[in-house]
Amino acid sequence: MTEAPFHHVAIIGLGLLGGSVGLALAEYLPGVRTTGYDRAPATRARAAERALVGTVCATAAEAVAGADLVIFCVPPLAMDDAARDCSGALRPDAIVSDVGSSKVAVARALADALPEATIIPAHPVAGTENSGPDAGFAHLFKGRWCIITPADGEDPAKVERLAALWQALGARVEVMDAAHHDRVLAVTSHLPHLIAYTIVGTASDLEEVTQSEVIKYSAGGFRDFTRIAASDPTMWRDVFLSNKDAVLEMLQTFSEDLSELQKAIRKGDGDTLFEHFARTRAIRRSIIEQGQDDARPNFGRTE
Ligand code: NAP
């Protein structure tokens, strides 16, 4: 076995992402020491029961002491506070990273809180609609992409060490400019969540459709939106506020495209609708071909 890229990884925030990183390290790089901290005492207790990390610490400073990699796994707008709690406790040569879903704002928050540290942000594009210390699992990153967004001029050897860690956890790694990441994720992740939150809210507010009908006929498409719309409210509030510009830009484009389809329906323009749907069906096929989803009917659901 080749040598692990880090000896001691500290994880701050022991929810879905933090717990999954800890469990994945235990499974794929068992020689790496792991310590962790979460601000909620109940989460720390549950993390210890589930052995999400080797040692659950009572403070963030204790968790990061001696670590050569610190990964912040807290919601985007909590990065600042979480990082300040570690100020003065980091090893001078430690690499500081994170898993935040938006990158420009999170990188700025970490740099402001830890001005002396080497910060190499990252975003594993892997998750579920669940959160908290019971949600994590070791295989979350298998076959998924992890996007690393180093600042201009960052030491390539350090970026490579972080990439090696994510690869060891099963991820595929891409290095990208942070602003580009935020625009790409605005359209592939943030906008779809906003649409799901909207449509589920709209359906439940409709007076002529009862709640029981919404649930009864949900297999018509609605239930796939409800899975996304069940995602953690704190995290998603933070994602929209921390990636505001890119989301608003993509939302504008989306609104224009929606208006085009609305116009086609109003005019009875079947060709426009058919061409559009044929194009989107081909995109779905590419996602399956590239192993990013399950091709079985109903996404492999058995019920
Ligand atoms: P989560 O399950 O809610 O876990 C976050 C944990 O961080 C919670 O236990 C929270 O405690 C704790 N926390 C908040 N502020 C803290 C602080 N200042 N110090 C220490 N701990 C603190 O959320 P998650 O889904 O793992 O998301 C974590 C990060 O991963 C976010 O930045 C998100 O953008 C990113 N991400 C999420 C997904 C996804 O699908 N969920 C995918 C990729 C990346 P409280 O409960 O007390 O607030």
Domain CATH number, residue 285: 1.10.3660.10
The Cα 222–Cα 108 span in angstroms is: 37
Q: Are residues 99 and 110 in the same domain?
A: yes
pLDDT score, position 1: 52
Residue 2 counted as domain residue: no
Q: How many domains does the chain have?
A: 2
Is the CB–ligand 1 distance for residue 99 below 6 Å? yes
Is the CB–ligand 1 distance for residue 82 below 6 Å? yes
Residue 126 counted as domain residue: yes
- Ligand 1 pocket test, pick from 38, 97, 181 with the greatest ligand atom count within 8 Å of Cβ, gives 38
Residue 45 counted as domain residue: yes
Is the CB–ligand 1 distance for residue 73 below 6 Å? yes
* Domain limit, last residue, from 177, 202, 223: 177
Q: Are residues 153 and 14 in the same domain?
A: yes
Q: Are residues 140 and 275 in the same domain?
A: no
Is the CB–ligand 1 distance for residue 40 below 6 Å? yes
Q: What is the CATH number of the domain that holds 125?
A: 3.40.50.720
The SS3 assignment for 171 reads coil
Question: For residue 16, how far is its CA from the centre of ligand 1 (angstroms)?
Answer: 7
Q: Are residues 263 and 136 in the same domain?
A: no
Residue 1 counted as domain residue: no
Residue 101 counted as domain residue: yes
Residue 84 counted as domain residue: yes
Q: Are residues 111 and 151 in the same domain?
A: yes
* Greatest C-alpha distance within the chain: 67
pLDDT score, position 302: 61
Q: Are residues 149 and 189 in the same domain?
A: no
Q: Are residues 24 and 83 in the same domain?
A: yes
Question: For residue 303, how far is its CA from the centre of ligand 1 (angstroms)?
Answer: 31
Q: Are residues 23 and 139 in the same domain?
A: yes
Is the CB–ligand 1 distance for residue 121 below 6 Å? no
- Ligand 1 pocket test, pick from 11, 12, 14, 17 with the greatest ligand atom count within 8 Å of Cβ, gives 17
Residue with structure tokens 């879903």? 101
pLDDT score, position 207: 72
Residue 129 counted as domain residue: yes
For 221, left (φ over 0), alpha (ψ -120 to 50), or beta? left
Q: Are residues 52 and 153 in the same domain?
A: yes
Question: Of all protein residues, whose CA lies closest to atom 42 belonging to ligand 1?
Answer: 127
Of ligand 1's listed atoms, the one at least distance from the Cα of 74 is 7
CB atoms within 10 A of CB 194: 20
Residue 3 counted as domain residue: no
- Ligand 1 pocket test, pick from 14, 16, 247 with the greatest ligand atom count within 8 Å of Cβ, gives 16
Please state, for a pLDDT cut of 70, what percent of the chain lies above it: 97
Name the DSSP letter for residue 71: E
- Ligand 1 pocket test, pick from 20, 39, 232 with the greatest ligand atom count within 8 Å of Cβ, gives 39
Mean pLDDT of 158-165: 98
* Domain limit, last residue, from 155, 177, 199: 177
Q: Are residues 214 and 234 in the same domain?
A: yes
Q: Are residues 68 and 133 in the same domain?
A: yes
Direct distance between the N- and C-terminal alpha carbons of the chain, in angstroms, rounded to an integer: 42
Mean pLDDT of 75-84: 98
Structural domain of residue 185, as residue ranges? Answer: 180-300
Question: For residue 77, how far is its CA from the centre of ligand 1 (angstroms)?
Answer: 10
Non-local CB neighbours of 200 within 8 Å, separated by 6+ positions: 222, 225, 226, 229
Non-local CB neighbours of 193 within 8 Å, separated by 6+ positions: 228, 229, 231, 236, 239
Q: Are residues 208 and 64 in the same domain?
A: no
pLDDT at 303 > cutoff 60: no
Is the CB–ligand 1 distance for residue 19 below 6 Å? no
Instruction: Determine the Cα angle at 209 with ends 207 and 211, to 5°.
Output: 95
Is the CB–ligand 1 distance for residue 136 below 6 Å? no
* Domain limit, last residue, from 144, 177, 210: 177
pLDDT score, position 298: 67
The predicted-structure confidence for 14-53, as pLDDT tens digits, reads as follows 999 999 999 999 999 999 999 999 999 999 999 999 999 9
pLDDT score, position 189: 95
Question: Of all protein residues, whose CA lies closest to atom 8 belonging to ligand 1?
Answer: 15
